[in-house]
């Protein structure tokens, strides 16, 4: 029975395309800013757990997920596949909103119920990855393909460069390449959700060096594998790390820019610049972006620009305080929206985060401000089949 179940899972996983370089096995499959991961609370907790004496089942640094076959997945003794992992990701949010002289509303949504698989090959350079979000609901023709989150293969050319082929997030700005499990707030900033919340099919070169990180690629301008080969897209995200020569003694500073340009039913170009700084438990960032044509989940006409800045501080291994100012200008409608967000994140363990956000929003389209409270959870587990 064990062998049958293992064979069935491997067979289903082999239908998909998914890969990641060995250097990226320690990272979340969607994360572009690896320094963000390294300095995140999750990494701190994992390393702390690893340093403790073994007293049972612990979370190893090799994986951020609980695996259906153990923390490192099921390891095969022979054959082309070395490891197989199965992950489950769940995201639940409740949004409560009230404005002066208006009624109170409360909406609960399951934004993600996602099955993730990772197949690591014995050559030590290739990894296949696929994830499927059963509850994604977009206004596209093909309901099956729109639910595919990742479907790509990564090959490590060398220790610094990886080639990725397949469907994944387009790395636009700070948050464009990050999954919902990696962003600090319940929702992305306005420029990120309007310009950079996209998945496309393409080929890209990801480079990680001491002073420079980059992600450059050519894509089909389709979104969520809809209307394939209807246009072309080019995207690059690059950042310089001027403090790297001090070996992080004074923190980590990243100064970068991103470009995303393409055409489908409409042409679009998004240009952005950003900065990130990490020092011990402190984090801050700033990003500005301008768009001539919108290239997010749906490609459409329109001009807009905006910026946001974030400050966050890890009090201890469980609590994180954070705040954000978010400005967005819809040039076509000459409408400005501002959001002031205060939040607290509580990490029960490296795989589960509880999120509380309060958002005070001002918009030219409304004569009164709105008040929103978001309560959410991000939970990642791979123990889907128990102990086999």
How far apart are the C-alpha atoms of 309 and 116, rounded to whole Å? 32
Q: Minimum mean pLDDT among 24-38, 192-206, 299-313: which range? A: 24-38
Q: Which residue has the higher pLDDT, 304 or 32?
A: 304
Mean pLDDT, rounded, for 211-240 = 92
Band of residue 327 on the pLDDT scale cut at 50, 70, 90? very high
Residues in the chain: 388
Tokens, residue 339: 């959001």
How far apart are the C-alpha atoms of 322 and 282, rounded to whole Å? 10
Closest Cα partner for 195 from 257, 111, 261, 141?
A: 261
Domain map (residue ranges) of the chain: 2-381
Mean pLDDT, rounded, for 99-120 = 82
Contact 39, 252 (CB under 8 A): yes
Question: What tens digit of pLDDT does each residue of 346-356 get?
Answer: 998 777 899 99
pLDDT at 226 over 90: no
Tokens, residue 128: 């296949």
Band of residue 40 on the pLDDT scale cut at 50, 70, 90? very low
Q: What is the pLDDT of residue 102?
A: 64
Best mean pLDDT range from 28-32, 139-143, 355-359 = 355-359
Question: What tens digit of pLDDT does each residue of 270-296 get?
Answer: 999 999 999 999 999 999 999 998 888
Q: What is the pLDDT of residue 324?
A: 98
Contact 317, 45 (CB under 8 A): yes
Superfamily of segment(s) 2-381: Porin (2.40.160.10)
Band of residue 70 on the pLDDT scale cut at 50, 70, 90? low
Q: What is the pLDDT of residue 47?
A: 39
Angstrom CA distances, 125 to 23, 80, 108, 205, 333, stand at 9, 12, 42, 15, 49
Q: What is the pLDDT of residue 228?
A: 84
Residue 216: phi, psi to the nearest 5? -125, 135
Question: What tens digit of pLDDT does each residue of 135-158 get?
Answer: 998 888 889 999 999 999 999 999
Q: Minimum mean pLDDT among 95-104, 209-218, 220-229: which range? A: 95-104
Contact 305, 316 (CB under 8 A): no
- Of the chain, the percentage scoring pLDDT greater than 90 comes to 51
Closest Cα partner for 281 from 244, 245, 319, 247?
A: 319
DSSP 54: P
């Amino acid at each position: 029975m064990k062998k049958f179940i293992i064979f069935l899972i491997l067979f289903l996983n082999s239908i998909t395309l998914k890969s990641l370089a060995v250097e990226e096995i320690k990272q979340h499959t969607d994360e572009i800013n690896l320094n963000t991961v390294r300095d995140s609370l999750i990494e701190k907790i994992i390393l702390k757990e690893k340093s403790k004496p073994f007293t049972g089942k612990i979370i190893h640094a090799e994986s951020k997920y609980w695996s259906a076959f153990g923390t490192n997945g099921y390891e095969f003794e022979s054959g082309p596949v070395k490891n197989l992992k199965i992950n489950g990701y769940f995201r639940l949010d409740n949004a409560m909103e009230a404005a002066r002289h208006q009624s109170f509303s409360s909406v609960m949504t399951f934004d993600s119920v996602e099955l993730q698989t990772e197949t690591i090959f014995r050559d030590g350079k290739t990894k296949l990855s696929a994830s499927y979000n059963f509850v994604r609901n977009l206004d596209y023709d093909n309901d099956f393909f729109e639910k595919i989150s990742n479907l790509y293969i990564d090959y490590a050319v060398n220790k610094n460069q990886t080639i990725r082929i397949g469907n994944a997030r387009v790395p636009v700005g700070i948050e464009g390449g990050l999954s919902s499990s990696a962003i600090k707030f319940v929702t992305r900033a306005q420029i990120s959700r309007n310009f950079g919340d996209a998945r496309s099919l393409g080929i890209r070169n990801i480079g990680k060096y001491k002073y420079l990180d980059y992600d450059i690629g050519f894509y089909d301008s389709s979104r969520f594998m809809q209307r394939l080969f209807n246009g072309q897209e080019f995207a690059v995200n690059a950042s310089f790390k001027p403090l790297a020569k001090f070996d992080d003694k004074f923190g980590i500073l990243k100064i970068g820019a991103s470009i995303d340009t393409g055409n489908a039913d409409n042409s679009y170009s998004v240009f952005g610049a950003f900065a990130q700084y990490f020092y011990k438990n402190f984090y801050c960032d700033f990003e500005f972006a301008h768009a001539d044509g919108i290239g997010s989940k749906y490609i459409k006409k329109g001009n807009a620009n905006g910026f946001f800045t974030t400050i966050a501080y890890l009090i201890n291994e469980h609590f994180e305080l954070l705040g954000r100012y978010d400005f967005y200008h819809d040039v076509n409608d000459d409408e400005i929206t501002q959001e002031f967000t205060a939040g607290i994140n509580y990490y029960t363990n490296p795989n589960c985060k509880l999120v509380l956000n309060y958002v005070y929003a001002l918009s030219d389209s409304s004569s009164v401000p709105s008040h929103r409270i978001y309560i959410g959870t991000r939970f990642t587990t791979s123990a889907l089949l128990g102990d086999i």
